[in-house]
Chains A and B, each alone.
Chain A
């Protein structure tokens, strides 16, 4: 539950800090391009110092920067996760524990592996042929990278919302009911109707419940049979969240869910995420650091080369980061 998270979201002074940070111009003497990772990048792993990187600041990533103690249960436990796309090493030895019923933000510059990491959590990387995943990801203690994992069950438990709204070209009702119908949880087909087992009422209840949870019910309840592509971008994205909720997941992964939306739609999505975190574990990738500071309980910072540099309580990461590079990144000196 939310009280198990280290801080509550209301008492955080992050907003004022962020506004001052946002006003800082990028230093002219800082190189704008991203640093090259030295070839010795993943030479060693563990016991304090791991490796050095060249670039805006030379520094060694320390293990304690990535340690984060929290109360309550860990939903995900990731150990030494490496992902390769062909010869490209996209994630390097990431180890992280994600607490349940909280919002975890993943931030970092483009190409640093945030989305790759997110897609590793429900094995969506399996859909990319060149991707190779090594390491361990456990959800509630169960390893998901082993033989015999039921991908259908995994993805039912770990739902996903994508960067651009992608509702199916079907009606709003069919969009929500799609998952449960395909899983056989509700039957509304002609056969079921013939046998008198039609769950049309159950389906309508489910549709209403999901749309209410996604704060969309009031706006669309009079046009559930309209095509979902006729909704606005923000409504489509909330519909996608509602669709994701329809299979009753435990975790919701969000890959920059608000990046294609205007500020008002973004605010609605952010409110929604805050509500969802009471019942669900939310992991969100975002490019918008103010957004991460506003909505998340803990923040993980990935930097160039696909390494996790710092992970901790959001207030700590934004106000007093251990890593100089993380500080440079969140104050806008690079990235």
Chain B
């Protein structure tokens, strides 16, 4: 094969440079992790790690990292390390390094020279130098030297104290915005860690195609774990802040809890968690958010009961019966548009159209219907996709048995599409359970509702001999829900009486309970999807 390069099948012993490269990668990943933790305030920038001030420690590690990366590149260029570098580092790396060095040079110049446009030529000089350096040299130099140099320069400013924990760059804006070390140090550490880590991974793979693959892997892994880490951090953060408030006054022991009657059997719970078992009243020892939890649950249940049959029915009509054409296209555009409609618009619709028709005051029912309308487009879109994905073979097989179209849809097509429908409903429930604006306008009465006024929808049904034969005052009463309560607590600060000893704990606990309620809806949905999938597939 012409032009094919042959490289040794088995590389000679390269354990020492690989160890250096692995160490450099480990330092880089560690620096990125510390940087992220520090951005979230978990590692204070003005404290010390093991006796060394944090900034100094970060600077030292950055210098070591940069030196290791440069060492690997130079060692490869001088032939001490066996690698297979490409002729140059490639366009993406070249442009990337040029940009980084342009920013670095420009920032330094504007800090040192104070004002003017001097930063522009300075940035252009450093950026151009990095560009030329990367483009003109072989890959082992071109991809390590600019990256390592960035780490050394940034590390040096940290190490020498040029940028310390109390460093502030006053940007001189009207708004008095300023760049502080609390943000800059972690951000610069993360950026340098990514650059130098990528270079170290490239060196670990011996440059060339394999090296670039290693570099890409490192970036992808760091990216993926950072995303997952941030998500967990968010939940853990809420949990840590929320649990103390949630457990305020909680007791465990026989007979301490409230008495619950299920199917006529009264059980006294052995645990008492006032935060989720009480409402708010003057006489309570501990205040709680029970009415809001109940309100949120009933809202979601009502919205799902309204939206899922309508959405699935419309999807069945559009997919199985309607001719593909103008009508279906128009409906598709309209549903996509509805799903993107801001929730406050739905709220306004409920406020001006539904509320006057449901007795003129805000009510649970109005909130349910409003959220049901919000949920409808997503259920329709995902159900339609799921129905379209059901193989035509099933429909053919059923038709060939002489089974009518409607029976085919009911017994074969819809069951096969159910996992998709459930997935769509889960996504939609996640959105509507946290909506504040629509229920603010349609459903919520007082911010704090006493525990005995938690909506008892099932118990509220009463049958009468006159039309409409069934009434439910609970549905027509204003109540509250968790997102609204949280909003009221934080922005307006209303409703916290004297017997909430720690308002901040109370707010975090409310947020945590909202998170738990939404997650438990997810759990129910995922369980349902799993059940339907098991029934469909061979498991």
A residues sitting closer than 8 Å to B (CB atoms) are 122, 124, 127, 151-156, 159-160, 162, 164, 166-169, 178-179, 182-183, 226-227, 229-230, 240, 243-244, 246-247
Contacts and interface: CB of A to CB of B under 8 A. Distances in A.
A226 B535 CA distance: 10
25 contacts: A127-B399, A151-B402, A155-B399, A155-B401, A155-B402, A156-B401, A156-B402, A159-B400, A162-B396, A166-B391, A166-B397, A167-B397, A168-B397, A169-B416, A169-B536, A169-B537, A179-B401, A179-B402, A179-B403, A183-B402, A183-B403, A230-B538, A243-B401, A244-B400, A247-B402
A178 B395 CA distance: 13
Contact of B399 (A124, A169, A226, A229): A124
Interface string B396-416: 111111111001000110011
Contacts of A164: 393
Nearest to A163: B393
Contacts of B394: 166, 168-169
A229 B402 contact: no
B401 A168 contact: no
Given A166-B396, A227-B537, A154 B402 contact: yes
Contacts of B415: 169
B396 A178 contact: no
Nearest to B536: A169
A114 B396 CA distance: 18
A182 B399 CA distance: 11
B167 to A, nearest CB: 64
A154 B416 CA distance: 27
A160 B538 contact: no
Given A166-B394, A169-B537, A229-B537, A178 B411 contact: yes
A178 B538 contact: no
B539 interface: yes
Contacts of A124: 396, 399-400
A39 B400 CA distance: 36
A168 B536 CA distance: 9
Contacts of A153: 402
Contacts of A122: 400
Given A162-B397, A166-B394, A178-B411, A226 B402 contact: no
Contacts of B396: 124, 127, 162, 166
A36 B530 CA distance: 54
A160 B400 contact: yes
Contacts of A244: 400-401
Contacts of A152: 402-404
Given A162-B393, A162-B400, 4 more contacts: A166-B391, A166-B397, A182-B404, A246-B401
Interface of B: 391, 393-404, 407, 411-412, 415-416, 535-539
A182 B400 contact: no
A3 B450 CA distance: 88
A195 B135 CA distance: 85
A124 B400 CA distance: 7
B399 to A, nearest CB: 6
A148 B421 CA distance: 38
Contacts of B411: 178, 182
A154 B394 CA distance: 19
A230 B415 CA distance: 18
A168 B411 CA distance: 10
Given A124-B400, A156-B401, A168 B537 contact: no
B497 to A, nearest CB: 53
Contacts of B538: 226-227, 229-230
Closest 4 CB pairs of A and B: A230-B538, A155-B402, A166-B393, A160-B400
A155 B536 contact: no
A21 to B, nearest CB: 34
A166 B400 CA distance: 12
Nearest to B407: A182
Contact of A178 (B391, B403, B416): B403
A165 to B, nearest CB: 9
Nearest to B533: A169
A156 B412 CA distance: 18
Contacts of A156: 401-402
Contacts of B393: 162, 164, 166
Contacts of B402: 151-156, 179, 183, 247
A20 to B, nearest CB: 38
Nearest to B323: A129
Contacts of A182: 401, 403-404, 407, 411
A120 to B, nearest CB: 13
Contacts of B401: 155-156, 159, 178-179, 182, 243-244, 246-247
A156 B537 CA distance: 28
Contacts of A229: 537-538
Nearest to A166: B393
B403 to A, nearest CB: 4
B298 to A, nearest CB: 29
A166 B415 CA distance: 16
A126 to B, nearest CB: 9
B491 to A, nearest CB: 50
Contacts of B537: 169, 227, 229
A156 B536 CA distance: 26
A154 B412 CA distance: 21
A167 to B, nearest CB: 8
A227 B532 CA distance: 13
Nearest to B410: A182
A240 B537 CA distance: 17
Contacts of B404: 152, 182
A124 B412 CA distance: 18
A53 B273 CA distance: 89
A133 to B, nearest CB: 16
A168 B403 contact: no
Contacts of B400: 122, 124, 155, 159-160, 162, 244
A229 B537 CA distance: 7
Contacts of A226: 538
A71 B391 CA distance: 42
Contacts of B416: 169
A230 B538 CA distance: 5
A182 to B, nearest CB: 4
Nearest to B396: A162
Contacts of A246: 401
B86 to A, nearest CB: 47
A246 B407 CA distance: 17
A124 B403 CA distance: 12
A227 B534 CA distance: 9
A33 B62 CA distance: 70
